[in-house]
Structure 1
Amino acid sequence: MSTGSLPTLVDLARKSLLQKESLAIPALEQLPPQMFPPLFEDAFTARLKDTLKALVRIWPFDTLPLGALMKEPQLDILKAVLDGLDMRPTRRSGCRRCKLRTLDLRSIHGAFWSACVHACPPGLVGRMQPVQHSPRMCARSAVKVMANLCLSDIMPNEFLAYLFQWVKKNPRTVHLCCRKLKISATFLYSIRKLLDLLELGCIQEVNVRSTWHLSTLAKFTFYLGRMSNLQKLCLSHICVSTDSSPEEQEEHISHFTSQFLRLNRLRRLHMRGVSFLQDHLDRVLRCLSAPLEALSITNCVLSEADLVHLSQCPNTDELKHLYLSCVPLTSLRLEPLRVLLETVASTLRTLDFLDCEITDSQLDALLPALSRCSQLTTCCFYGNKFSMETMQGLMRHTGNLNKLRLELYPAPLESYNAQGVIQRARFFELCRDLLGILKEIREPQGVMFSTRPCRNCDKRVLYSMDMPYQCQCPEPA
C-alpha cells in the first residue's frame, strides 16, 4: 500500500465521529472549522440527519451550498437542514459559532467543499478549544435561502412545497431569494402566493414560458416593478384578447412598459411571440432606464415605424447582441436597420436574421454597415432569399471581420429548381465556390450553409467547412 493511500488523522477522526452519532454530536463544538465540510459530506452520504442538524446549528461559514451535494431534491435532507436552522443559537444561549447567513439550494458552488478549507483564516487549524463569542454576536439573524425556481399552475413537488411552507412560517428570519425565476403558469392567481414569498429584489432573471394574455402581463407588473435587480427579462407568447377594446389594450401596455422605468439594471430583453409589439415597439424601448446589451425579438411582426424607433432609440446604441429571428422583413425598408448597424458597429458581437426572408436588394442596403461591425463574432442569415451574386457580395463584405467565429449562411437561390426543391449537388458546388471566396480574404473559423427545411422530414441540408450533411429523403429526379 502506498503512503498516499493511507488514511490521515483527520480521516480517522471523521470516521470515528460518525460511527456513533450520539457521541459525535456533543463533540462538534470542539472541532476546528476545517473539519465541518468533509464531516457534513460524510453525514450527508450516510444520511445521518441528527448529525446534519447539529452541524447546521453551529456551521462556521457564511454559506452552506447544500444544492451542490444534491443531484436531485432530497426531502429528508432538506427537513434535517431546516430543522438545524430552527435550532440555531439565540441571543440568550452561549455559542461558539453562528455564522451561517445563506443556505444555497442551487446546483452551483461545487468547489466549496474542497476550497473553503483553504479560505479559513490562518491559525484556526488545530485550534480545538471552543471560541467564546459575546451574546450579541450569537444573536439569531435572518437567513437567506437561495434557489432557482420554476412556478407553474400545478402544486410544486414535495421538496419545494415543504420549503415554501417553512419560509411562510418564518417570515421575519428567512428571506427566500431566487436569482433565476421561470414561470410556466397560465394563470397568475395560481402562483401569487408563491410570488409573495420571494424577495423580489433578489431576482436577476425572469423567463415567462407560458401563453399569457396582455391583461395577465399587466397584472404581473405589480411584481415586475419590484424586481429592482432584474437584468434579464424573457417573455413568450403574449397574446391580445379579442374581447379587449383598443382602450383596454393601451392601458395594459402602459401598465407593462411603465415598470421599465424602475428596472435600471435591465440589460437583456427577449420577446418571443409577443403579439402587441407591432406599432408599439417604441412604447417598450423609450421606457427603458438604461442601454440594452442584448435585444431579441422572435416570431413577432414589426412595422417600418418599429424599425425606425429601434434605430433611433438611445437605449439600443450599445447593443452587443441583436436577434431578429422569424420576423418577416420582406415588405419593409431596411434602411433603419442599416442606421442601427452603423450605430452599434463598435459593440455588436452577435447578429441574427434567422428566417426573416430578406431579399437581395434589402441585403445590399445593409452590407456597407455590416462590413463595419468589427467586433462581430457570430452572424446568422439562415432562411433568407439571396442569389449567388448577392452571396458573393456578402462574403466579400464579411471578409474583413476577423473576429467572426461562427457564420451561418442560406443556400443561394440557384441551389433550388423551379419547384423550389433543393438540388444537392448544385448546392454543394455553390457552397464550395463561396467558401473559396472567403478563404481568399481570411481564414474562416466556422462557416455553415443551410437550405430551407426539407418538405418531407423538416430537416435542413447543410454544408460546413468539414463535411456536408443531408437528410435521408430521396432526391427528386
Structure 2
Amino acid sequence: MLQCVLGVGISLGVSLLFQWFCEAGPLACCLPAAMHSLVFLCAQKVVSHHSTVRGALEFIPKELYPVLFKAAFMDKRTLVLQDLVQTWPFPVLSFQKLLRKCQHCDRALLQEKPNKLCVQTVILGVVTYLNEALEDRLHSQSRRQRLQVLDMTGLQDDGIDQGPESMSLWSRTVTLAKACIDVSKHQSKCTKRTSKRRKGPYSSAVALPPPQPVSVEVHVDLFVNSTSYGVLKDALQNNANSMLRLKCRDFRAEELPIASTVGLLEFLDPTGVRQVDLRFNNLGLSGLRVILPHMAKFTNLVSLKLPYSNIDVRRLSAGMEGSLHYFATQLSRLSCLKELNLGSSRLSGKLRQLLGDLQGPLESLELAFCYLLPNDLAYLSQSLHTPTLKKLDLSGNNLSDSLLQPFQHLLEEASSSLLHLDIMECRLMDIHLESLLPALCRCSQLRYLGVFGNPLSTRGLKNLLQRTMGLLYLQLVIYPYPVDCYSENLPWPPTSSNLLNGSVDEEKFSRVSAELQQMLLTASRTDAVWTTNLCRHNTLDYFNL
C-alpha cells in the first residue's frame, strides 16, 4: 500500500513539474531546434515507467496528454500508449495534430512510415475503451463520453519499402475493419445480456432507462483489393449501428470487380469522402458508366483518379460514343472536382469533350500515356483549367514532335500557377528542351520537375540546371541518366525502353552527378535535390500543394 502511495506521489510530482515547464514558455523550449524541449525530455522519462504512469493518470493534467502521446509513440511505449488512449480526455485524438512537428519535438513522425505496433496499440486502446463502456451499460452504469473521434488520416504510405515494423495503408484498413467487426460482435452479445438482465422472472420488463450509448468515429483512408474486400464490406455494413464506425476520407480500390466497387461506394459516408482512386480495375467506358453515377452523392469529392481503366477512344463504335458522352456528363456533375487522373487511357482528340463541361477549373490534371494529339493540348491551353493548374502530368506523351509547340504554349499559360510538372518519358532531347526552357523558366512557383526517361545528354542536363537556378522554389528534380553515360551505343533516337533497360556506366555517371552537385553548391542551391531515384523522394500530392 505504501509503495502504491509513493508511486502516485512521485508521479504527481512529475506531472506538476511538467505543468511548470509548460507554463514556463520560452524557458521550456529554449533548446536548439534539432533537440527536444525539456518538456519532451520529461515526457520520455515518464513514459518509460509504465506502472508509475498508470497509477498517476487520474492526477496528470489533461494538457500533458498530447506530449505524452507523442513521446510514447516515438519511443514505442505501447503499454503507456494504450493507457493514454483509453483515458484520452479530449473529444478528438488526431494523428495529424499529435505526430507533427511541434514546439516540444521537431521530429515529424507523421512524415515517417507509421510503426505497426503503435498503430495497432492505438486501435486496441479505442476498442478497449468501447468494450469497457459496453460493460458499464450492461451494469446500468453511466460513463461520460470523452473520446468521440479517432483521426488516423494523413499517415505516410507510398507503397515502397514497407519494412516489418511499419504498417501499410492496406494493413491499417484490414486491422480497423476487423476491430469494427469485433466491437459489433461484442456489442451484440452485450445487448442480448442486457435484454435478459432487464427481464425479471415474473414481469415482462423492468423500467430502467439504458445509459447513453458511447461511440467513436474513425476518420481514415481506406485501401481495398480482392483480398481485403470481404472484411471491409462486413465492417462497413455494420457502420450505422456499430459503436466503432469508419468514416472514409480517401478511398482507393485496386483490381476489384465492378459490382464489388459499387457495393463499397454505396456503404461510404457521402459527406466525408474527398478522393476516390480506382486503379487497375479494367473498367473501360462500360464499367465507368456503371460506377460514376454512384459518385454523385459524394458532394465533397475533390479528387477522382481513374488510371489504368482501359479506356480507348481511338476506334469508338456508335454505342461507345454514347458511353463517352455519358462519362463526360457524369464528370460534370462532380461540382467540387479539382483533381482528375485519367492516366494510361487512350484519349486521343477527346480532351475537349471530356473536360469541357466541368463546372469549375481543375487544379491537378494527370494525363500520362494518354496518346494525346495537338488539338488536345491546344484545347487545354485555352481552357478555364490552365490558369489554375498546380499539378500537370503529361508523362509518356511524345512531346518531341507535333505536340512540342502546343505544349510550349500550354506551359506559358500555366506558368503563374504551376507547382508540379511531370514530363517523364516524353522523348525530349537537348534541342527540344532548349526550346521549352524560356516557358519553363517563367514557372516561378515550380517546386517539382520530373524529366526522367528523356534522352538528354550531360550538356543538356547542365544547361537545364543552370537555366532553372533562378526558380527559387524548385526543390526536387528527377532527371534521367545522360545518354553519354551508357555503356553501349544507344539506337538514335532511343526509346524509353532503350533508356530503362540500357546499361549505365556507373563511373561516368558518378562524375556527372558530382558535377551537378558542385554546380548546386556553387550557386548556393544545396536546398534543391537533383536525383535519378524515382522511389526515394515523394512527389507532391495534390492535397499538399
With the shorter chain as reference, the TM-score category is 0.5 to 0.7
Higher helix share: 2
What is residue 387 of structure 1 aligned with on the other side?
Answer: 457
Q: Which amino acid in the other structure matches residue 342 of structure 1?
A: E
Distance 1:198 1:433 in 2: 52
Change (3 A) 1:150 1:53: farther
2:131/2:186 contact within 8 Å kept = no
Q: Residues 62-93 of structure 1, C-alpha deviation per residue, up to 9 Å, x if partnerless?
A: 82439799965333324335778999xxxx98
**2:322 matched to 1:216?**
no
Which residue does the alignment assign to 1:422? 504
Per the normalisation by structure 1, the TM-score is 0.67
Match for 1:189 among 249, 259, 268? Answer: 259
Q: Aligned AA for 2:511? A: E
SS at match of 2:426: coil
Name the amino acid aligned to 2:276: V
Find the aligned partners of 1:266 and 1:294 in 2 and give their Cα distance.
10
Residues 85, 34 of structure 1: CA spacing in aligned structure 2 closer, same or farther, 3 A cutoff? Answer: farther
Q: What SS does the aligned partner of 1:239 have? A: coil
Which of residues 230, 240, 248 in structure 2 aligns to 1:178? Answer: 248
The one-letter code matched in structure 2 to 1:105 is V
Q: Give the secondary structure class of the aligned counterpart of 2:252.
A: strand
CA contact (8 A) 2:136 2:143 kept: no
| Unaligned residue ranges in structure 1 (runs of 5+) | 13-31, 107-146, 452-458, 463-477
CA deviations 1:241-266 (Å, max 9, x no partner) are: 79985222221111111122221211
Shift of 1:11: 7.6
Looking at structure 2, the residues matched to 37 and 85 of structure 1 have their Cα atoms a distance apart, in angstroms, of 27
- Residues 407 and 163 of structure 1, relative CA distance in 2, 3 Å threshold: closer
What is the number of equivalent residue pairs in this alignment?
385
1:105 to 187, 208, 218: 218
Does structure 2 retain, via aligned residues, the 8 Å contact 1:409–1:449? yes
TM-aligned CA deviation for residue 428 of structure 1: 2.6
Check whether the contact 1:399–1:442 (CA below 8 A) recurs between aligned residues: no
Match 1:270 to one of 334, 341, 351: 341
Residue 318 of structure 1: which of 382, 388, 400 is its match? 388
Question: Identity, % of aligned pairs?
Answer: 23
Task: Please tell me the residue identity of whatever aligns with 2:217.
Answer: D
TM superposition shift of 1:208? 0.4
3-state SS of the aligned residue for 1:346? coil
Higher strand share: 1
Quote how far apart the aligned CAs of 1:406 are. 1.4
- Offset at residue 331 of structure 1 (A): 2.9
Q: Aligned partner of 1:364: which letter?
A: E
Letter of the 1:265 counterpart: C
Residue from 131, 141, 145 that aligns with 1:60: 145
State the shift of 1:311 in Å.
1.7
**Residue in 2 that maps onto 1:51:** 135
SS in 2 for 1:269: strand
Closer/same/farther in 2, CA of residues 189 and 359 from structure 1, 3 Å limit: same
Q: How far apart are residue 52 of structure 1 and its match? A: 6.5
1:429–1:193 CA distance, 2 compared to 1 (3 A): closer
- Contact 1:202 1:229 (C-alpha < 8 Å) held by counterparts: yes
Paired position in structure 2 for 1:468 = none
Of 302, 310, 322, the match for 1:251: 322
1:384: Cα distance to partner?
Answer: 0.7
| Cross-structure match for 2:182 | 76
Q: Output the CA distance in 1 between the equivalents of 2:440 and 2:151.
A: 48
Q: Which residue of 1 aligns with 2:526?
A: 444
Deviation at 1:441, TM superposition (A): 3.4
Look up the equivalent residue of 1:385 and give its one-letter code: P
Partner of 1:402: 472
TM-score of the pair, normalised by structure 2 = 0.59
Contact 1:359–1:384 (Cα < 8 Å) also in 2: yes
Q: How far apart, in 1, do the equivalents of 2:314 and 2:376 lie?
A: 25
Distance (whole Å) between structure 2 residues aligned to residue 48 and residue 201 of structure 1 = 30
> Alignment partner of 1:390: what SS?
helix
* Counterpart-to-counterpart distance in 1, 2:529 and 2:356: 37
Opposite residue 372 of structure 1, the aligned amino acid is R
Q: Does 1:365 align with 2:471?
A: no
Maintained 8 Å contact 2:457/2:482: yes
> How much has 1:187 moved relative to structure 2?
2.9
Structure 2 contact 218–245 (Cα < 8 Å) conserved: no
Q: Does 1:335 align with 2:420?
A: no
| Matched residue, 1:411 | 481
CA contact (8 A) 1:415 1:423 kept: yes
1:291 aligns with 2:361: yes
Q: Secondary structure of the equivalent of 2:306?
A: strand
Paired residues for 1:20-169 under 5 Å: 41=125, 44=128, 48=132, 50-51=134-135, 60=145, 63-65=148-150, 72=176, 73-74=178-179, 75-81=181-187, 103-106=216-219, 148-150=221-223, 152=225, 156-158=229-231, 160-167=232-239
How far is the alpha carbon of 1:367 from its aligned partner? 0.2
In the other structure, the counterpart of 2:38 is: none
| Runs of 5+ unmatched residues, structure 2 | 1-5, 12-51, 61-86, 94-123, 154-171, 195-206, 491-502, 537-545
Contact 2:148 2:216 in 1 (8 A): yes
Q: Which of 231, 243, 247 does residue 302 from structure 2 map onto?
A: 231
Q: Secondary structure at the match of 2:454?
A: coil
